[in-house]
Structure 1
Amino acid sequence: MLFRAVACLCLICPTLKADPLALSDGEVMTFRVGWGIFIHAGEISISARRETDKPEPRLRVTTTTATRGFLGGFFPFEAKGESWFDLGSGRLLHSTEESRSKKKQTRQSLVFDYAKRKAGYVNDIRPERSKELDLPEGHPMDLIMSLVQTRTWQLKPGEKQDALVIFDDDFYELTIHADAYEDVRTPMGKFRTLRLTPRMEKTEPKGMFKRGSAVHVWISQDGKNLPVKFEVEFKFGSGVATLIDHQIKPAPETNSSGAAEAEISLPVQNASNPGS
């Protein structure tokens, strides 16, 4: 459940613009996921790459999640989600998600029609669940991207901002509160951060929020505004994703024939993982 939540952890008129996207071309963030005594229970990677093969330039955001180490042997889980954003408007155009565990496999997609305020949901594993959805007011994103997106906000403690979050074939109207400034230590160093907490206030709580779960994100206040930590609290414990590496990789070069050269790999900061 932790990795399903974290892996999942955004339109009224066609001309309405969303906030500037929180990720730039070539940006990559890597998080180590801990669960209880398992300090390295899994890993999350978020990467962004500009695509120019369409009439309108897009940003493709790819999120991968997987269990690792001892926990991965007992509870294998892998997930991959991809989202395509229009770089002109900042709106989400299309998203796909697939996951695999011992007992369950998912593969689904969403296509957004902002003119009609509709979204087409397709479930490849359970086709009978495919349907057309009404789009609520807001700019939809998945949970993780919604939390990352808060790095573009300029909130101070006591302030709040709304977000529309996608969970499978459902939309959650959340209000994200800026709680307090806190110091957070990570393998990348010590950061002064702002802790933010999403809550369901506009509608009746549902899903993980109805079950008493809570989500937090800590955004660094150093100019880079990095999401240095996520936390998902359940009644039976909590999972923490800590940023261990942040890079901006150059786009692949093209040769005279137009073929892409191998992508340049920048040095990766090695984080100590005492629990791996």
Structure 2
Amino acid sequence: MKKLVLFLILISIFGFDSRNDDAFGPGEWFKFRIHYGFVNAGYATLEVQDAVIDNKKAFHVIGKGYTTGMSRFFFKVDDLYESYIDKDSGNPYRFVRKIDEGGYTKNQEGFFNQPSNKILVKDYKNKNEKTFVIPNNTQDILSSFYYLRNHPGIDKLKIGESIVIDMFFDDETTKFKLKYVGREDITTKFGIVSTMVFRPLVQSGRIFKEQESLTVWISDDDNRLPIRIKASLAVGSIKADLEAFKGLSNPFKIKM
């Protein structure tokens, strides 16, 4: 079930758009269903609200992940991720991470100081705090989703080209690399949707079969909604599908 936990986290990352001030806004909400075949394993949601940080307008993004049914009986997951994002730069001010994954818990809050390239992480569970040096424009795991939605030229990538961002997670900064694969029409509960297909490079070995085991289908419209995510694991595979949405800033284009 730890694979499910990782998958809930990955869902919060993927979604892309060319630069568009109306790509998303307060009131936007997504829900994803995570499943093994026909078995529901859990759900993940993302919501955008308005906020003010240091007298500056910001987005307050809230992400939740949780197991359901028999999956919850065997391995309970209740995860909360929050990010406060500057509306102009797209960079995060603060993140919150409160998780309970089968009894494994974390309660952290991170405070970005982008001008000095530092982040202060307060660990409320262990009652300590640490300061880390970070590169320019470093994102947290949740703000990465919205930062990439507004990344210029993402919809103009050629097949095989990649984009790389710096992302802070678990007390370290990593290079998050995405490779563009192509375009594909897929069948969803909403109808046939034209999508852009990406493959994030992930660490192969214990969980994933290989570096390109994760595939992400993104709606090829002004919303750049994550429509489907599929991961080939060391044993079997797991999928997440867009289940519901509201408050979109642009029309959701459906072919049929």
> 2:230 touches 2:237 (CA, 8 Å); kept in 1?
yes
CA distance in 2, matches of 1:206, 1:93: 32
CA distance in 1, matches of 2:164, 2:241: 24
Q: Are 1:217 and 2:216 an aligned pair? A: yes
Number of matched pairs? 234
* Residues 90 and 150 (structure 1), Cα distance of their counterparts in 2 relative to 1, 3 Å cut: closer
**Structure with the greater alpha carbon radius of gyration:** 1
Deviation per CA, 1:139-198: give whole Å up to 9, x if none.
3130x5535654433243333211222322122112211112122222222211111112
> 1:66 touches 1:78 (CA, 8 Å); kept in 2?
yes
In the alignment, structure 1 segments of 5+ residues that lack a partner are: 10-18, 251-276
CA distance in 1, matches of 2:83, 2:45: 14
> 1:36 touches 1:237 (CA, 8 Å); kept in 2?
no
Q: Give the residue type in structure 1 aligned to 2:169.
A: F
Q: 2:144 aligns with which of 146, 158, 165?
A: 146
- Spell out the pairing of 1:6-17 with structure 2 (5 A cutoff): 6-9=7-10
Q: TM-score, normalised by structure 2?
A: 0.80
> 2:179 touches 2:198 (CA, 8 Å); kept in 1?
yes
Corresponding position of 2:14: none
The SS at the match of 1:89 is coil
Corresponding position of 2:172: 170
Corresponding position of 1:29: 30
**Runs of 4+ residues over 6 Å off in structure 1:** 206-211
> 2:91 touches 2:143 (CA, 8 Å); kept in 1?
no
Q: Give the residue type in structure 2 aligned to 1:146.
A: S
Percentage of identical aligned residues:
21
Please, what is the CA RMSD of the aligned residues? 2.8
CA distance in 2, matches of 1:27, 1:223: 14
- Spell out the pairing of 1:1-276 with structure 2 (5 A cutoff): 1-9=2-10, 23-38=24-39, 40-52=40-52, 54-127=54-127, 130-142=129-141, 145-147=143-145, 149-152=147-150, 153-156=154-157, 157-199=159-201, 212=210, 214-248=213-247
The SS at the match of 1:115 is helix
CA distance in 1, matches of 2:236, 2:70: 18
> 2:28 touches 2:47 (CA, 8 Å); kept in 1?
yes
CA distance in 2, matches of 1:173, 1:209: 19
> 2:208 touches 2:233 (CA, 8 Å); kept in 1?
no
Displacement of 1:223 after TM fit?
Answer: 3.5
* Residues 178 and 53 (structure 1), Cα distance of their counterparts in 2 relative to 1, 3 Å cut: closer
Q: Give the residue type in structure 1 aligned to 2:133.
A: D
Q: Give the residue type in structure 1 aligned to 2:91.
A: R
In the alignment, structure 2 segments of 5+ residues that lack a partner are: 11-18, 250-256
The SS at the match of 2:155 is coil
> 1:218 touches 1:230 (CA, 8 Å); kept in 2?
yes
